[in-house]
């Protein structure tokens, strides 16, 4: 066994912990770039829980708002321009995975001497960037604890990550209260993305006992609490447990990678302009079905922990109960059962399968998936 294990320097978790943001940020300088999304945080008033402590600590805030979902290379170019213009000392990302990824890439590329596109295409990064702090407001992406930023290039049609070990947040401040005003569909899609991270990391070819422990607990937390967080959004306990599950799933994926769901999610998402969480949410049970024989023991262990199967049930049967549970969860969260319901076209299938083949996530999938397997999986989605 050989592994290295990466986590942010500090993770702060718990209701109200955003109040510590000022003291945490002040350590890294006086002037910060605050990356935010398109305004839901402002509309709900939640942003005050972030800005208040920063202002109280005497920090100067430079705003970079309006970061779109599924960000492009241009999104990072724009925020880098603001960061350079104001010569900020640090970056804080407050939002969902897209915002956190832009904040991460902006901090990471601050001292870079090439364009974002050059780094996207593999240019080597010579030095670390600015420190950055992550404040997630959704429970799903795990971006607060990962070293990669997922970006899209509309010109080439590619969606992929730039990743560097030095890109981990200095501090991840995970306050479940910030997730309380998430719209229901975002709770559902981001929660299923987190469940996908946990299950794919748990069954990854690169999994090891440290990631297994974290991923297993994450799967259980999310399975037990996601529907309550969705159906009763103000249910604090459920929100807290899903936030914790998402955080743990992020740590697991950062150290064990993800699998075939994520390999397919990128080309499908970019082709039909669908959110990453939605595509993962639809695909998850299809890929679990495909992987069933390779990971029956691990699925069975989860099923037994969730009391979906008796302790003496054989692994194959117990594993199938977990797949059934995920299908039912998908239905209760009002997520389509097939990609055909959100735009998948038969004539696109060969190209989408082809585009997924080089993915590192596919290499981590526990059952080897070749071109014809991916085509078959997509055909069952029509
Ligand atoms: Fe994901």
Q: Please give the mean pLDDT across all residues of the chain.
A: 96
pLDDT tens figures, 305-334:
999 999 999 999 999 999 999 999 999 999
Span from the CA of 369 to the centroid of ligand 1 (angstroms): 19
Question: Looking at residue 357, what DSSP letter applies?
Answer: T
Q: What is the SS3 assignment for 10?
A: strand
| Contact in structure between 337 and 331 (CB atoms under 8 Å) | yes
pLDDT of 122 > 80? The answer is yes
State the residue for tokens 């290295």: 4
Q: Tell me how far CA of residue 215 lies from CA of 196, 291, 306, in angstroms.
A: 10, 17, 14
pLDDT of residue 207: 98
| Contact in structure between 221 and 242 (CB atoms under 8 Å) | yes
pLDDT tens figures, 248-300:
999 999 999 999 999 999 999 999 999 999 999 999 999 999 999 999 999 99
Full residue range of the structural domain in which residue 36 is found: 10-178
Residues 210, 129: one domain?
A: no
Tell me the pLDDT band of 44, cut-offs 50, 70 and 90. confident
pLDDT tens figures, 10-23:
999 999 999 999 99
Helices 184-202 and 315-332, packing angle to 10 deg: 160
**The pTM is what?**
0.96
Residues 304, 264: one domain?
A: yes
| Contact in structure between 251 and 163 (CB atoms under 8 Å) | no
Span from the CA of 2 to the centroid of ligand 1 (angstroms): 25
Q: Which of 131, 151, 178 is the last residue of a domain?
A: 178
Residues 71, 173: one domain?
A: yes
Span from the CA of 15 to the centroid of ligand 1 (angstroms): 24
The C-alpha angle 263, 264, 265, rounded to 5 degrees, equals 95
Span from the CA of 150 to the centroid of ligand 1 (angstroms): 10
Residues 331, 199: one domain?
A: yes
Task: Identify any residues that bridge with 148 across adjacent strands, giving them in sequence order.
Answer: 163
Span from the CA of 141 to the centroid of ligand 1 (angstroms): 6
Tell me the pLDDT band of 233, cut-offs 50, 70 and 90. confident
Residues 167, 190: one domain?
A: no
Which has more pLDDT, 44 or 117?
A: 117
Span from the CA of 83 to the centroid of ligand 1 (angstroms): 27
Q: Which of 133, 148, 178 is the last residue of a domain?
A: 178
pLDDT tens figures, 59-114:
999 999 999 998 999 999 999 999 999 999 999 999 999 999 999 999 999 999 99
Q: Domain count of the chain? A: 2
pLDDT tens figures, 200-211:
999 999 999 999
Q: Which of 127, 148, 178 is the last residue of a domain?
A: 178
Span from the CA of 181 to the centroid of ligand 1 (angstroms): 21
pLDDT tens figures, 164-195:
999 999 999 999 999 998 999 999 999 999 99
Query: What value does the mean pLDDT take over residues 109-126?
Result: 96
């Amino acid at each position: 066994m050989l592994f290295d294990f990466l986590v942010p320097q500090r993770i702060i978790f718990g209701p109200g912990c955003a109040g510590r943001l000022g003291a945490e940020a002040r350590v890294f300088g006086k002037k910060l770039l605050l990356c935010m999304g398109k305004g839901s945080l402002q509309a709900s008033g939640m942003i005050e829980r972030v800005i208040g402590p920063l202002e109280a600590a005497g920090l100067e805030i430079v705003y970079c708002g309006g970061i779109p979902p599924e960000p492009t290379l241009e999104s990072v170019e724009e925020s880098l321009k603001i960061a350079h213009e104001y010569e900020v000392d640090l970056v804080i990302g407050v939002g969902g995975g897209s915002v956190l990824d832009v904040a991460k890439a902006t901090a990471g590329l601050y001292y870079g001497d090439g364009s974002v596109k050059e780094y996207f295409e593999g240019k080597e990064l010579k030095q670390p960037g600015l420190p950055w702090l992550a404040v997630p407001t959704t429970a799903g992406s795990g971006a607060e604890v990962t070293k990669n930023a997922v970006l899209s290039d509309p010109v080439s049609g590619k969606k992929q990550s730039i990743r560097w070990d030095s890109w981990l947040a200095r501090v991840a401040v995970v306050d479940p209260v910030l997730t309380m005003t998430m719209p229901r569909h975002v709770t559902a899609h981001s929660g299923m993305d987190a469940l996908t991270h946990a299950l794919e990391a748990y069954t990854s070819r690169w999994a090891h006992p440290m990631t297994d422990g974290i991923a297993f607990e994450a799967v259980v937390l999310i399975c037990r609490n996601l529907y309550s967080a969705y159906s009763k959004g103000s249910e604090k306990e459920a929100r807290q447990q899903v936030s914790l599950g998402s955080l743990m799933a992020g740590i697991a994926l950062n150290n064990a990678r993800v699998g075939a769901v994520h390999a397919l999610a990128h080309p499908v998402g970019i082709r039909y302009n669908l959110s990453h969480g939605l595509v993962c949410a639809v695909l998850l049970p299809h890929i679990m079905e495909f992987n069933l024989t390779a990971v029956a023991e691990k699925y069975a262990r989860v099923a037994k922990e969730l009391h979906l199967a008796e302790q003496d049930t054989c692994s194959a049967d117990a594993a199938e109960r977990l797949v059934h549970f995920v299908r039912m969860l998908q239905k209760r969260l009002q997520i389509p059962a097939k990609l055909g319901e959100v735009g998948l076209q038969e004539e696109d299938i060969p190209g989408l399968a082809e585009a997924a083949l080089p993915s590192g996530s596919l290499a981590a999938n526990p059952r080897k998936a070749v071109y014809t397997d991916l085509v078959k999986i997509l055909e069952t989605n029509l």
